[in-house]
Structure 1
Amino acid sequence: MGGESSRDQSLKYSFFNEEEQKMLKSDYERGGVEQVARLIQNKLGDLDNTEFNIAVTGECGSGKSTFINTMRGLHSDEEGAAETGMVVTTMEPTPYRHPNFPSFYLWDLPGCGTNRFPMNKYPREMKFERYDFFLIISSIRVTVNDLKLVKEIKRLGKNFYFIRSKIDNDFRSLREGGRKFNEEELEKIRNYVVRNMQEAGIPSPRVFLISNFDLNQFDWKWLNDSLEDDLLNINKCVHILPNLNLKIVDKKREKLKIRVWMLASISEEVGAEAVPGVSLGCDIGILIGGIIHFRKCLGLEDASLQALANRAGKPVEDLKAVVNTPLLGEITPDLITKLQCSVAGSICGAGSSFLVTYKVLNDALDELTENARRVVKSILDLSTFFSEEELKQLKSN
């Protein structure tokens, strides 16, 4: 009785603190709607760390640097490639940009368990906390150090893949011994790794068997597909993953639905102590900032469309031709007012700032998502862009 509900409390503390609310109102009075919209965009940008860091770790000589070069489509002698060799070459954590995801960094870590980097100091010296995801590379067998890495990564509450590299060496050894390297032999190696992980307390490890020199054999495609799927479930990736297929577009929509509720909550936060005329202006600023953020996340800005067109080998004009929404033009206060008016009559209790803002943003997100899907579908005829399996799946959607 007389106390705040849990929802009221969540609204009050979910996005802007009291001081920020005062600043928001003050900035509106000084700079108008455009200033508020800019602040909302900046706030959303702060929530999304635009860098995603993947640590590539394991024992010395396991093929970490070669793996990173292969992932980036580079030979060891090309400019920008990670240094490789028969002796220790990586002496400190070194970041390399992922070729498809410019905001993603693959970190080449020094080998663990050496005199210079003993295991009892390794996670601390490598600053494991900074990484979002781990790839453990092992070249021969599951070692004690590999299992120690796994336990430390899990202790930090982070996820990893275990990658058994140099499968081509196993192939060669079996062939020289007069045995055939077939799927059964491959599964023996996989089961050995899985069994060791399970004994170490990891019930369902993700294990991939690869050769750093042959991307067409073994688990390379599965590795890339799995990594893409798992990254889709990480909130901070929502606006930096390119729209390579419809699944990515739909997953982004799912994540952005949470932002719709968040932005509608801000509208209610700011309006709770409204100054006449200010609450409405803040709502317009919130909607402008939200829509601009959504279209950026969904890859509908010029730079994102150009990057997708370059990857697909298609003129960017072809992609833009399938886009049909006024939400890609300038988002003006007049446009927002029209959107507000169009939904107000359909909502019971239309005076609620929360409800109107929620409905406008929800409708805008659906419209932008549909346009992003059209862009992806416009490149389905390019077999070089998608695998045969992806094409079948996309066409079925």
Structure 2
Amino acid sequence: METQDPAVVEAVKASGESTLEKATAKAKEAFDQFMNVSLNIAVTGNTGSGKSSFVNALRGLNDDDDGAALTGVTETTIEPNMYEHPAMPNVKIWDLPGIGSPNFKANKYLKDVKFKTYDFFIILTSARFTENDIMLAKEIKKLKKNFYFVRSKIDNDISAEKRKQPFDEQRVLDTIKQDCQKNLKTLGKPNVFLISSTDSNKYEFENLLNALFEELPELKQSALLQACPVCSAACLEKKIKMFERMSWAVSLASAGIAVIPVPGLSAACDLAIVVLFLTRCYFAFGLDEKSLTRLSEKVNKPHLKDMAKSKFVIAIREKALTRIQVSAAIATIGTVEYFLSLLPGLGSAAAAGISFATTKYLLTEGLNDLAKTAREIQKEAGLENVFK
């Protein structure tokens, strides 16, 4: 490695490998897993418990958005329905039929919904948990998979209780949780998360996400964190740190490509990786137009939609695909040239082959730009101190 750039040498050492070739292979594998690891989330519960709305909330969608899970006052789910995350097709959320409904009897529910498909189960109710819910939890436990009890529509409960005097929101929440846990006493004292699918910034939506995150394998953790909505400033910071940690893989993969003696390959492939990585950041940080619209409506601040005007946000919004796909197709000549034009003086270097240092610089600039924009929006939304 004596003839290599000192920065590349240092990066190879930091990877724990002895050669650039081995370090690059490790980096490519890490990056591919980071971008493509599958995650299958099952959402089940009583008819009318709000499963479909919860599925939409996890996907960062309103119930009336295109592609949203169908909601209604009757049993709208008659068979397992799979919904891809809008920006991460490797994350799939399954809206399962209500257990005990005429179409799915409790005693054969797990077999009918193909139990082995899912990484974990969310058992949802908008009232009390039933014997069917308890039976389902016991069966899931026998099969060594995780389950989580979620009490939905908490915003409706709070609105109803506000008409009573004296009103104490925390007392109402404590009473609901204690009632749920009492109803589940045969399972010990399981945690119950109180959430509103229409407002993931309130109640225990983020606490639920944190619990899911902590009990998943590391690779699955990254998929959940990339896909979940930005619930607070703390959630955003966790996302930013994750992408910062992964940036080494992008840079090392770039360094490896740069040594391949094929004219034009370095410029195309390096930027394909960088654009893919930064586009994933853009969606994960909630900078896409749908996420910003949803946030602005929640906090009643329409101008939030106009705050995402930084150079990298504009580059991604105007030049990158609206749906992320792991494909070299995103590295069109127009996209490559546009991204290079953001950093004066780097165009000629890229034409000859982007070096590790150039790619790392572009990556760092892009990540910092997107993170700064997302932080400013969260602060303006008044969420910078939520859940800290």
TM over 0.5: yes
Indicate which of 210, 215, 222 corresponds to 2:203: 222
What's the counterpart of residue 329 of structure 1? 340
| Contact 1:287-1:361 within 8 A present in 2 as well | yes
1:199 deviates by: 5.1
Matched, 1:64 2:51: yes
Indicate which of 373, 376, 380 corresponds to 1:375: 373
- Name the TM-score, length of structure 2 as normaliser: 0.57
| Contact 1:194-1:205 within 8 A present in 2 as well | yes
CA distance in 1, matches of 2:135, 2:19: 40
For structure 1, the 5+ residue unaligned runs are: 1-5, 18-39, 341-356
| Contact 2:140-2:147 within 8 A present in 1 as well | yes
1:57 deviates by: 0.5
CA distance in 2, matches of 1:241, 1:119: 30
1:162 deviates by: 1.8
1:225 deviates by: 3.4
Amino acid at match of 1:329: L
Identical residues among aligned pairs (%): 25
CA distance in 2, matches of 1:235, 1:205: 23
Provide the secondary structure at the position in 1 that maps to 2:369.
helix
Indicate which of 121, 124, 128 corresponds to 2:108: 121
| Contact 2:266-2:354 within 8 A present in 1 as well | no
Map 1:245-284 onto structure 2 (within 5 A). Answer: 247-248=234-235, 250-263=237-250, 278=261
Map 1:271-350 onto structure 2 (within 5 A). Answer: 278=261, 287-299=270-282, 312-314=304-306, 318-320=309-311, 328-329=339-340, 334-335=349-350, 340=355
Q: Closer, same or farther in 2 for the Cα pair 1:378/1:164, shift >3 Å? A: closer
Matched, 1:82 2:70: yes
What's the counterpart of residue 319 of structure 2? none
What's the counterpart of residue 93 of structure 1? 80
Indicate which of 149, 168, 171 corresponds to 1:184: 171
| Contact 1:290-1:361 within 8 A present in 2 as well | no
Amino acid at match of 1:184: R
CA distance in 2, matches of 1:74, 1:332: 44
CA distance in 1, matches of 2:157, 2:288: 42
Q: Closer, same or farther in 2 for the Cα pair 1:52/1:193, shift >3 Å? A: same
| Contact 1:57-1:134 within 8 A present in 2 as well | yes
Q: Deviations over 1:5-63 (max 9, x none)?
A: x965999889859xxxxxxxxxxxxxxxxxxxxxx79x956752488654321133544
Q: Deviations over 1:86-137 (max 9, x none)?
A: 5x44311224577x87856653311213464233432232133434553312
| Contact 1:238-1:297 within 8 A present in 2 as well | no
Q: Closer, same or farther in 2 for the Cα pair 1:370/1:68, shift >3 Å? A: closer
Structure showing greater radius of gyration is 1
| Contact 1:249-1:372 within 8 A present in 2 as well | no
| Contact 2:42-2:118 within 8 A present in 1 as well | yes
CA distance in 2, matches of 1:376, 1:172: 35
What's the counterpart of residue 35 of structure 1? none
1:197 deviates by: 5.2
Provide the secondary structure at the position in 1 that maps to 2:203.
helix
Amino acid at match of 1:371: D
CA distance in 1, matches of 2:40, 2:84: 10
Q: Deviations over 1:256-307 (max 9, x none)?
A: 3453444566579889xx9xx6499988777544433332222199x96555
CA distance in 2, matches of 1:228, 1:320: 31
CA distance in 2, matches of 1:70, 1:239: 14
Q: Closer, same or farther in 2 for the Cα pair 1:237/1:48, shift >3 Å? A: farther
- Name the TM-score, length of structure 1 as normaliser: 0.56
Superposed CA RMSD in Å reads: 5.7
| Contact 1:160-1:206 within 8 A present in 2 as well | no
| Contact 1:96-1:105 within 8 A present in 2 as well | yes
What's the counterpart of residue 208 of structure 1? 194
Provide the secondary structure at the position in 2 that maps to 1:121.
helix
Q: Closer, same or farther in 2 for the Cα pair 1:157/1:49, shift >3 Å? A: farther
Amino acid at match of 2:122: L
